[in-house]
Structure formats: C-alpha cells, structure tokens
Amino acid sequence: MRQSINFKKGISILILFVVAISFVCWVALAGAGNIAGGAFNHWPDTGQTKCYDNLKEIPCPSPEYWFYGQDAQYQGPQRSYTKLGYGGVELPDSATQAEGWIMTRDNVTGLIWEIKTNDGSIHDKNDTYSWCYHSPDTNGGEEGRCTDGTDTEDFIASLNNEQFGGFSDWRLPTIKELSTIRGISAPLNDPFIDSNYFPNMMAFYYWSSTAGARHSYGAWCVYFGAGTLNFSSKSAMSHVIAVRSEESPSNNSFVDNHDGTVTDLKTGLMWQKCTMGQSYNPDTNGCDGVASVHTWKSALDACESLELAGFHDWRLPNRNELQSIVDYSLGEPSIDLTYFPGTQREYYWSATTMESYPSYAWGVDFDYGYVPGKDKSKIIYLYARAVRSSQSEVLGDADHDGDVDGKDLSGLASALSTGNYDPVFDLNHDEQLNELDVEIFAGNFGKS
C-alpha cells in the first residue's frame, strides 16, 4: 500500500518547491521512501503521434478536412517509466539487468512490474503456465488447470515466498492493468511493448487474473504479438508477468450527470451516455431511437460534430480510453447498462490506428470485451460513442482561475499540514494525498 507522505515533511518539500521548483519531484519521491504502486486509475496515452487515412499515413489534417480528430491529435497522460532495483530503489535509465534492474514502475498508473530475464530463473522469458486460482472469489467458477509448479498460482506464490525485489505482494495483473503496457506497434516478430523498460517479452500470450464473466472455462490474456486481447481456455500454457500495487478498484466510479453525459471520476473523462444516433431522453434518463453505424472516417466526424450538454469538444475516444469503460465482470454486454443504456453488443470504433497495419483501427467489443483491429479499408460499419476530457483545467488549479499558482500552492500546503483529505488536490485520484500528488503539482506549477 502506498505510504502517505509525512505531513511535516510535506511542508518542507513545499518550501523547497517555492525556492527551487526543479527539486520538488526528486525530494517528494526520495522523502517518501520505498513505495508500492498505487491503485490503478489513470490509463496512459496510447503513444500514437502519426495520422492516417483508411490505408496509409498522412499529414495530420486540420478540422475542416476528413480524418480530423484521430488519436494523434489529442494527447493524454504520456507514458513514463522508471527502472527499479531491490527494495524499489530508483535507477537511472541507463541501468541494465546486470547492474540490478529487476522491476519497472509505470509512473502513470503507479503499477510496478516484474522484469523478465533470459537466464533460466523463475523470471525466464520462455516459461509458460496454465491458469489457476483456487479461490472461488476470483476464479469465475472454475479453478482452472492447477498443476505442480507450472500454473499461475504457483508462480506468484514462488515470487512472494522468495520476496522478489524485497516485496511479498506480487500478483497477476487484471486484464485492464495488463492492457496498459501494450503498445500500438512493433517491428516484425517483436512484441507490442516498450522493450527499453520491458525487455525479454515474447510476442505471445500473457495471462491476466481476469476470469470469464459468463464462460468459466476461460480467462483473459493479452497477445503481445499484435497488442490484442484474447479469451483463452484456462488449461492453455501462456506466459506471465507479475505486478504489484494496491489492488485495483473492480469498477469505474461513474457519475450520471442527468444531461446525457456520464463522468468517470477515476479517469476524468466525460462520456456520451447514449450510442451515436440515439437521443438522450431527460424524462426517462435513457436513450431513444436507433443507434447508427459508421465507417471510421464518419465516426471521427460524427464525434467531432457532436454538441451535447453544452459542450462542443467531443471526440472519438482512443483505444485505451474506450477500453476503460468495459466491465469485464459482466459480459453480454460488457458494460454497465445503468450508466450506458442502449449500448449495442457489438464493436465500437476507437480513434487509434494499428500502426503496423495502417488500414486497421482498433475496435472495442461491448459484448465480451475483445479489443482487436478492424479493417478501415473495406467500408466496415461499427458503432461510436463520444468522449471529452471533463478535467479541462490544468491539474492543480484548485481555485479554477486558469493558473496553477501560489494560491493553489497555499491550499495544498494547508491540506498536507492539517492532514485533511481534500479531493481537489488528489491529482492522481488514489483517494489519498501523497508524494505523487506533490510531484504532479510541481510539474504543473506555472501552467495555465
């Protein structure tokens, strides 16, 4: 569990911040000691920086042209990783495994990941396991193929028994957690992941802890050979990468705004309640009419043109954003119909192109939760739902005056010194005030 920052130390950090802002991030993390990954709330940006039409890369278009509004034109939380040694000690980017690099921290999600090796140890990249969970609370109704030393439960137990990295809280990642480290492209035969921070990964299947909601024989995995999600029999042999953190919240924190929009407090995204083509009915707080289907090009345009609840900055969500509202505890459909009535049990477009196959864009299936590529070039029609960033203000602008300034700093100092939790300063949304909030605030100080 992430340690909350010591409040007296927090004040000292803030004083240092006023004197020299460049030191704040370092002091905040160093002063907190070794920390566990926090509860997973934010999804990192996909990392897409290029634009595409239905077949190929193109110059990123301006708003008056077709294909405007795709992934590369809206940037979310940028991917950031830190190499860690034993006990969570931070290492420079130049550190190698021979120099003690054994874990990687995702600075966006807070998750800490095991690093695979090529040395025949328990971390060896070639090892595969069957899926096994004895607990009925987590196995979806079937424990899987539990063997002697070659199943996922045995692998995790071995890591924790030996206190790998100095910790004993390793576990299998959920399917959403595992999805956050997959990339959008890779050289031929390489895995869809940043090999600078995740070496020795295989372009193959990796187990998650997420069992099937409606089909107990299987569990979810990520196929890093293409960055797709797959549902596989628990008896299949697949690779494993372990993670540690506070256990992720099982569900999103949705708020129905009763105006045709839904806000996810965990991600800070505001969603169109109804599927594109349907109309919001304020009398029933539901969706009327027939959902429309779109080509990828027309889905981009429809979301960009949407005017809803007084907002005009709607867009087609990227792959990670769209997957964030899938509920893998449900299935058929794999979304909470309380907040998203009228959702079709079909595929929805994302704004993200598969860079290795530019005639394909990522789609998300709201029947089961698959995330494959869908062919843009063959005039395939899918559904669409728009999104906007509800937290349009810069993080840290507590008084909403357009600037992260001394007044906001004073408020953060007061919250840290009194120990009173103030959600306006919970900038990473983990329901506590800690060193990462100070780090985010420091990074945004002076912005408007």
Same domain, 29 and 93: no
pTM as predicted: 0.79
pLDDT score, position 438: 81
SS3 110: coil
In this structure, the answer to whether residues 110 and 164 fall within a common structural domain is yes
Q: Which of 214, 244, 274 is the last residue of a domain?
A: 244
Residue type, 36: A
Q: Collapse the DSSP code of 206 into the 3-class scheme (helix H, G, I; strand E, B; otherwise coil) and give the result.
A: strand
214/283 same-domain check: no
Q: Is the residue at 321 inside a domain?
A: yes
As a whole number of angstroms, the distance between CA 372 and CA 360 comes to 9
- Determine, yes or no, domain membership for 428: yes
Q: Which residue has the tokens 């599927």?
A: 275
CATH classification at residue 343: 3.10.100.10
Residue 104 is assigned to a structural domain of this protein? yes
Q: Are 177 and 109 in contact (CB under 8 A)?
A: yes
Is there a single domain that holds both residue 299 and residue 382?
Answer: yes
- Tens-digit pLDDT profile for residues 156-182: 999 999 999 999 999 999 999 999 999
Whether 426 and 364 share a structural domain: no
The reported pLDDT for the residue numbered 19 is 33
Residue stretches of the chain with pLDDT short of 70: 1-41, 246-252, 391-403, 423-424, 427-431, 436, 439-440, 443-444, 446-448
> CA 152 to CA 146: how far, in whole Å?
8
User: What pLDDT does 109 receive?
Assistant: 93
pLDDT of residue 403: 65
The span from the CA of 344 to the CA of 155, in Å, is: 38
Q: Is 152 part of any domain?
A: yes
In a 13 Å sphere around the CA of 365, the CA atoms on its Cβ side amount to 16
Question: 112 and 261: one domain?
Answer: no
Tell whether 165 and 113 lie within a shared domain. yes
**Euclidean distance between CA atoms 61 and 281, whole angstroms:** 35
Per-residue pLDDT reduced to its tens digit, 132-154:
999 988 888 899 999 988 999 99
* Distance between CA atoms of residues 196 and 347, nearest Å: 33
Task: End-to-end CA distance of the chain: give it in Å, rounded.
Answer: 33
Question: Same structural domain for residues 369 and 433?
Answer: no
- Confidence (pLDDT) at 15: 37
SS3 state at 22 = helix
Distances (CA, A) of 365 to 56, 235, 335, 397: 24, 24, 10, 36
Give pLDDT, residue 26: 32
141 within some domain? yes
In contact, 299 and 275? CB cutoff 8 Å = no
Closest CA to 388 of 311, 277, 280, 298: 311
414 belongs to a structural domain: yes
Whose structure tokens read 């029947």? Answer: 367
Residue 206 and residue 351 in one domain: no
Q: How far apart are CA 40 and CA 110, in angstroms?
A: 7
pLDDT in tens, 376-393: 998 889 999 999 997 544
Q: Provide the pLDDT for residue 29.
A: 35
**Residues 435, 361 share a domain:** no
Pairing of strands 360-365, 347-353: antiparallel
Q: What is each CA distance from 271 to 268, 274, 331, in whole angstroms?
A: 10, 9, 20
The Cα–Cα gap between 61 and 70 comes to: 9
Candidates 177, 179, 172; CA nearest to 132 is 172
The structure tokens 């990074």 sit at 443
* Total number of domains constituting the chain: 3
For residues 150 and 237, state if they share a domain.
yes
CB-count burial class (<10 Å; 0-12, 13-18, 19+) for 305:
exposed
Same domain, 274 and 423: no
The answer to whether 371 and 323 have CB atoms below 8 angstroms apart is yes
pLDDT at 32: 35
Do 435 and 428 touch, CB atoms closer than 8 A? no
Would you state the structure tokens that stand for residue 166, as one six-digit string? 């100095």
H helical segments located in 95-208: 152-161, 175-179
- State residue 9's pLDDT score: 46
* pLDDT score at 392: 46
Instruction: Give me the domain span that covers residue 161.
Output: 81-244
Pick the last residue of a domain from 346, 364, 389.
Answer: 389
Q: Is residue 70 part of a domain?
A: no
Question: What DSSP string describes 356-409?
Answer: TSTTEEEEEESSS----EEETTTT--BB---EEES--SPTT-TT-SS---HHHH
**Going by C-beta distance under 8 Å and a sequence separation of 6 or more, which residues neighbour residue 76?**
43, 44, 45, 46, 318, 320, 321
In a domain? residue 53: no
**Cα–Cα–Cα angle for 9, 13, 16, rounded to 5 degrees:** 140
